[in-house]
Structures are given as structure tokens and as C-alpha cells.
Amino acid sequence: MKAEKRKVQLTGGSTYTISLPIKWARDAAVKQGDELLLVEQPDRSLLLTPVRAGDERARYAELTLADTEQFEDHFRYLIAYYLVGYDVVKLLSPGGFEAEVRKRIKEEVRKRLIGMEVVGESSKEIVLKSFLKYEDFTLRDALQSMSRIIIAMLEDAISALELGDKDRARDVIERDNEIDRFYLLLVRQLKATVRDPELAKKIEMSGQRDSLGYRIVVKNMERMGDHVERIAKHSLLMSAPVGVEQIREIGTSTKVLFLKTLDSLRKRDVQMANEAIRDANQLIDRVNEINERTLAEEMSVSDKIHAFAIIESLGKIAKYCEDIAEITINLGIEVPGEEIP
């Protein structure tokens, strides 16, 4: 509907009232006696939402799995339902689930979707339900858990390379699944705040306008996890731990940069974020120098390729830190009429 102006009326000497546009009321199925939820926004505007008796019911969806598609195709659909906020998803297979497929679905759900559990099944269906309560796991909690895993993975990936510890490198690769789980959880939460303004407060986010910024932040953190995994994979393929001192130097600097970036985000400190951006640029320059030095070193072509890939991944992580710091500056700038917490 087009914007309309309405005059505020004084009723009973102490109450302000305003009439609702009839077209909006009809479209929203609002009638006499219904309740409306009024939520004050950071810019002092009011968000008006009809209160429905069934709003507390779980959001339910059915997903029929086609025999012509692969398992990962089906799981991508399930992830999409999870991300947009469905509480119950029923998976249907017209031809029935094979035992191996049923087992794999359960394993992948537990491994990749936080809060989602199998609550019912038969030969042709599997029912999944989310037991996740957003307010029990705030945005800060999830970001902190995700960042701790990334830091521990980075430390272990560098250590695995130094010691030639293949088991430790494989463990780093396996832990990337944890990063992916938190990434999906955070995206689900951030999508939900767009639909429910009150949820932003419950998960300790200052307002809906932050959703897009944090969406980019968590995507960058998920990509960091991918690059740490890549470091571990290349360390497994190296015949000898060459260039370790330089890699350890860059790895330590990368960890310090990531911690500073996270601290600036937590505090919304734009000056610290600017420092992090300068540090990231210096680190990227250092990565380029080391790549040139590695080129001149005596080692097998294969090891040289793996060393390049490891150093390049550390440089990519530094670039993602720079991106997060830029988002921090955007989040830390006050919008007219809005208070920064």
C-alpha cells in the first residue's frame, strides 16, 4: 500500500489514538477485538504486527525426496528449510528409505544441524524437529564458540605441520564440521531476527539493522575454517616440513590479528578495527614476501606447491579479518536517532 498520513486523536483526555487503513486491516485479516503488537524501533518508529492465536505453533514442512537426485541434493534442501526457520520437517520417500540412507541422514543431521533431532520415522518418512531456543544460545555465545574452534584449529594445523603429525592434521580437517554447524546455526538465528524484531534483543543483538553485517561476519569466519582445513590437508601431502619457521611466523601473526579483529567487533571499537585493517594489509604484504622467498628455496616442486598453498591460505584469513573489521566500523557508526549499546 502507498504511504498514508493519519492524524493522532486525543481520546478521553489521556489516550492518543490513530485509525488503521482499512485496506491494510483487510489484507492482514485484522478485525474488531484483535490484538496488535507494537514494537519500538531504534529510530523511534513503531512496528505494528497482528497477534495470531496460532503464532506459537511450530512451523511445519514436508520434503519429498526424488529418486533421481543425490543424497547431497536432498540434504541441501533440508539445510534450506533449517535456515529459514522450520521447526519440524518431515522427509518423505515414496519408494521407502534404504537402511543405509536412513542411517546417513541421521548421522548428517546430528553432525551438521545444531538442535535438530529425529523424533519419528517409518519405512517411508523421517520426522525431524528443532529443539533449539534462540535465547538459550545468544549471538555472542555462538560467535565466541565458533572463533575458539577456529583459533584452536589454526594452532593445531601449524603444529601438525611442524611436527609432521598426520593424526593431528586429520583431526583439524574433521573439526571443520563444527565450524559449519555454528555457521548454519548463526544464519538461522539472523534470518529469524528479520522476521521477529523482538528476537534480536533475545539473542543480544542491538537491532535488526545488524543482521546483514553479522551475516557477512559469520560467512567470513566459515571461510576461515575452510582455509585452516586447507592448511591441514596440504600439510598431509608434504613430504617434509619445509619453510616451517616462516609459516609459523605468519600463522602466529594471523592468530593475533584474528583475536584483535574479534575484540574490535565485540567492543564495536572503530579505532581498533582500523588498526586491525592496517595490520591485515601489513600481514598480506609479508605473505607475498615469503612466497617470493619460498620460490627461491631448494625443495621439491610438489612441496613448494603445498607450501605456497598454506601461505596463501594464511593470507586469505588475514583478508577475511580485514573484511570483518570493515563491517565492525559500519556497525559502530551511529545511525541518526539510534543509540549504540
Average pLDDT, stretch 94-113?
A: 90
Give the domain extent around 301: 135-332
Return the SS3 of 18: coil
Question: Within this chain, do residues 141 and 126 fall inside the same structural domain, yes or no?
Answer: no
How would you class 264 by CB atoms within 10 Å of its CB: exposed for 0-12, middle for 13-18, buried for 19 or more?
buried
Say if 338 falls within a structural domain. Answer: no
DSSP string for 181-201: HHHHHHHHHHHHHHH-HHHHH
**Would residue 221 count as lying in a domain?**
yes
328 and 215 in one domain?
yes
Looking at the structure, tell me whether residues 114 and 144 fall in a common domain: no
Domain identity same for 89 and 115: yes
Whether residue 69 is found in the same domain as residue 24: no
> Are 124 and 13 in the same domain?
no
Residue 1 lies in a domain: no
In a domain, 32, yes or no: yes
CATH code for position 99: 3.30.110.20
Highest mean pLDDT among 59-68, 78-87, 93-102, 221-230 belongs to: 221-230
How many other CB atoms sit within 10 Å of the CB of residue 45?
10
At residue 55 the predicted structure's pLDDT band, cuts being 50, 70 and 90, is very low
Residue 3: inside a domain? no
Grid coordinates representing 61?
514442512
Q: Which string of b and e fits 285-306 if b means at least 16 CB within 10 Å? A: ebbeebeeebeeeebeeebbeb
What average pLDDT does this structure show over 23-30? 79
Instruction: Residue 21: give its domain's CATH number.
Output: 2.10.260
Contact (CB, 8 A) for 306 and 12 = no
- Among 242, 233, 216, 220, which residue's Cα sits nearest to residue 304? 242
Q: How many domains does the chain have?
A: 3
Q: Are residues 185 and 234 in the same domain?
A: yes
Rounded Cα–Cα distance for residues 89 and 62 (Å) = 6
Q: Which residue, 125, 96, 150, is CA-closest to 259?
A: 150
pLDDT of residue 16: 85
Residue 161 and residue 297 in one domain: yes
- 20 is a domain residue: yes
Min mean pLDDT across 85-89, 143-147, 157-161, 238-242 is at: 238-242
Predicted structure pTM score: 0.79
Q: Are residues 230 and 256 in the same domain?
A: yes
Planar angle of CA 106, 170, 161, nearest 5 degrees: 160
Whether residue 235 is found in the same domain as residue 248: yes
Are residue 188 and residue 175 in the same domain, yes or no? yes
Does 35 fall in a domain? yes
**How far is Cα 133 from Cα 189, in angstroms, rounded to an integer?**
10
Residues 6+ apart with CB under 8 A from 183: 146, 218, 219, 221, 222, 225
Residue 291 maps to which CATH number?
1.20.58.220
- What gap in Å lies between CA 108 and CA 72, rounded to an integer? 10
CA dist 293 and 242 (Å) reads 12
**Residues 206 and 275 occupy one common structural domain:** yes
E-strand spans in 195-236?
A: none
Report the pLDDT value the prediction gives residue 51, as an integer from 0 to 100: 67
Instruction: Give yes or no for residue 341 having a pLDDT over 60.
Output: no
pLDDT, one tens digit per residue, over 261-280 is: 999 999 999 999 999 999 99
